[in-house]
Structure 1
């Protein structure tokens, strides 16, 4: 059994256990659900009471519900963007200038000059607002200045622009972690 599968199973078990505790499940169904939790755990070799295994498999601070919420937002964004009329995109010159600004922002990030990096990425976004990389990079810069709310907004915008851009999900996860732990490094 892979850790990936067991992480998913632990997430399901945690969701079901929380549903028992928060009253989502009717009193008459709690015992059946507890049996199901035990059977699922045994079938996949996951013991939610084993602290060492829980530590290895936990996806915290994320939960299955929070991951599902991101999925739903992504689907809604994808549906909205596919049903809307395509807008004229930036010119080739604008795209080239935006790329130069991104490179400038990256250089500023390397020097830990986050304000200048944010400014460069903001200018790149103004020229090419459909490039998820620019939002994602600006999210990293905002997070580096501990402006986590702006970082969340940019990470979510990057996901909206390109739901397949994995780095944006990473940024969103890191920012969420930072907001809980107030410590993050890129």
Structure 2
């Protein structure tokens, strides 16, 4: 099993444990979740009580819930834009992001850049994803996220982001560099 898969499993276990402690799950259902956590851990060889495994595999301070929230925001924005572009005439351009959205996106890009410098690639990916959720028209955000994925060894996903950067701006040479 890859380290990426192990991280996902630990994140799921963390989510379930958090759901039991924060009151998301009714007291009557806690026992069933405890059994599920134990079974999931055993099936995938993850021991959430092992400090060594947690230190190696944890995505904290990020949580599975926050990753999912970013995904949903990005999907909703991209989906809304895709629906708008298919329903409008091909000559009309999608509505550009507001100045406020661009400023927020740039803030997340800067945060991602700082995280890249610290070799915190998963956190950098999340920051670039946030930037994209505010401004999906800037090829730099996709290019930077491609670099973060590549640094993590997730080259197939990096290729997708590099191609997206190029599709947004075919003259953006860094997109081709990331693709390479």
Number of equivalences: 123
TM-score by length of 1: 0.54
Distance 1:30 1:140, change over 3 A: same
Looking at CA atoms only, which structure, 1 or 2, has the larger radius of gyration?
Answer: 1
Distance 1:8 1:166, change over 3 A: farther
Q: Does 1:161 align with 2:137?
A: yes
- Alpha-carbon deviation of 1:77? 0.6
Unaligned runs of 5+ in 1: 90-124, 145-150, 172-186
TM-score by length of 2: 0.55
Q: Does 1:9 align with 2:9?
A: yes
- Alpha-carbon deviation of 1:64? 0.3
Distance 1:140 1:169, change over 3 A: farther
Answer yes or no: is the 8 Å Cα contact 1:20–1:30 preserved in 2.
yes
> Residue 140 of structure 1 is aligned with which of 81, 95, 110?
110
Answer yes or no: is the 8 Å Cα contact 1:9–1:46 preserved in 2.
yes
Q: CA RMSD in A?
A: 3.9
Alignment of 1:1-186 (within 5 A): 1-84=1-84, 85=88, 87-88=92-93, 139-140=109-110, 154=131, 156-158=133-135, 160-161=136-137, 165=142, 167-168=144-145
Provide the C-alpha distance between the structure 1 equivalents of 2:53 and 2:61, rounded to a whole number of angstroms: 16
Unaligned runs of 5+ in 2: 115-126, 149-180
Provide the C-alpha distance between the structure 2 equivalents of 1:8 and 1:142, rounded to a whole number of angstroms: 21
- Alpha-carbon deviation of 1:169? 8.4
Provide the C-alpha distance between the structure 1 equivalents of 2:64 and 2:20, rounded to a whole number of angstroms: 15
State the Cα deviation string for residues 132-179 of structure 1 (Å, max 9, x = none): 9xx6699339977xxxxxx98755434x337992634888xxxxxxxx
